[in-house]
Amino acid sequence: MKPTGLLARLVALILLGRPLHLAGGALFYALGVAAAGYAGAPLALDAALLGLLTVMTAQLMNHYSNDYFDLDADQANPTPTRWSGGSRVLPSGQLPPQAALWAALCCGGLALVLAGFAASASPSPLASGALLLVAIVLAWVYSGPPLYLHRRGFGEPVGAFVVTGTTALSGYILQTGQLTLLSLLIILPLCLMQFTMLVAVSLPDQQGDRAVGKLTLAVLLGPERAAWCMAGTTVVAYLMLPLLWYAGLPTLVALAPLGAAPIGLWISFQTFRGIWAKPHLWDALGFWSIGQVVASAGLMLLAFLLRL
């Protein structure tokens, strides 16, 4: 039976937050915690759990604010997929736009409070709190005021750093109290793969984004050049693995992302075949680009756990 009334609005609010995507944030965070354990830090369970709650509420804030501030682009988008074009809750009229804004503000406020508790439970409250604050602020200004980064050509690089980079670094610093070379090495290939993913999911949106003046890379460079950037960062992510190993990344961890290499090959091959002009493949492109970064992070996490 289709939910009605209050229950229907509650279900719509949950769908608006895209809860499935929270699993990726939890995975990147767990990778940072596992890397800290490999580096010799004893598990601080209270800091780990509070940090995870902080990450998840900040991620929800970002999801809600994205749908609110992207409403014009989502309404103008004729080719949304399951992985792009927002949750489609607001354009379909299931909730008023203000519901997304209030949800974003509430989640943002809760994330700030949780960040304070998480930082106080870490070995270095000042450093941990500073990183968490930076991550929360960037997650807000990615789509919200005053910077609206994803409307001004900065969305893909900032999003790549925030989603994978600051999330994994938060898990690490809350356990160790500091950022080390190891923590930076683990995020580099993942940030590149996340960049690939963000470009991939922007390709189906570029017509609507262009119509409302939202300057994603697909709009600034054109879909063809943006697709080649996507393929380029994919290739670089794998080519850098020997360098990361040489710089100190454990061998098994450096090898782990190669398990997702077939996905990278598929993305590169489809780019060569002109996927930017093939709408029937955009849904698959979004799925596999997400799968690439999630699989790589999962395999790296497993590698760290095997080394503990």
Domain ranges (residues) in the chain: 24-307
In the chain, pLDDT over 70 holds for what percent of residues? 98
Contacts of residue 232, Cβ cutoff 8 Å, sequence gap at least 6: none
**Is the per-residue pLDDT at 2 higher than 70?**
no
Is the sign of the CA dihedral 104, 53, 202, 82 positive or negative?
negative
pLDDT value at residue 3: 53
Q: What angle do CA 204, 76, 13 make, to 5 degrees?
A: 90
Cα–Cα distance between 286 and 294 in angstroms, integer? 12
Cα–Cα distance between 75 and 77 in angstroms, integer? 6
- DSSP symbol at 110: H
**Is the per-residue pLDDT at 4 higher than 80?**
no
Cα–Cα distance between 214 and 201 in angstroms, integer? 14
For the entire predicted model, the pTM comes to: 0.95
What mean pLDDT is predicted for residues 205-225? 94
**Is the per-residue pLDDT at 251 higher than 70?**
yes
Closest listed residue to residue 47, CA positions, set 108, 104, 132, 107: 132
What confidence tens digit (pLDDT) does each residue in 159-183 have? 999 999 999 999 999 999 999 999 9
**Is the per-residue pLDDT at 307 higher than 90?**
no
What confidence tens digit (pLDDT) does each residue in 83-139 have? 888 889 999 999 999 999 999 999 999 999 999 999 999 999 999 999 999 999 999
Cα–Cα distance between 112 and 119 in angstroms, integer? 11
Q: How far is CA 83 from CA 118, 169, 213, 234, in A?
A: 31, 26, 21, 19
Question: Average per-residue pLDDT in the chain?
Answer: 95
What mean pLDDT is predicted for residues 150-156? 94
Lowest mean pLDDT among 104-108, 194-198, 203-207: 203-207
Any bridge partners for residue 84, and if so which? 81
Contacts of residue 268, Cβ cutoff 8 Å, sequence gap at least 6: 231, 234, 235
Predicted confidence band at 40 (pLDDT cuts at 50, 70, 90)?
A: very high
- Which stretch of DSSP H or E encloses residue 199? helix 181-202
pLDDT value at residue 197: 97
How many beta carbons lie within 10 A of that of residue 64, not counting itself? 27
For 232, the token pair is 């380029």
Class of residue 181 by CB neighbours under 10 A (exposed 0-12, middle 13-18, buried 19+) = exposed
pLDDT value at residue 1: 42
What mean pLDDT is predicted for residues 255-260? 97
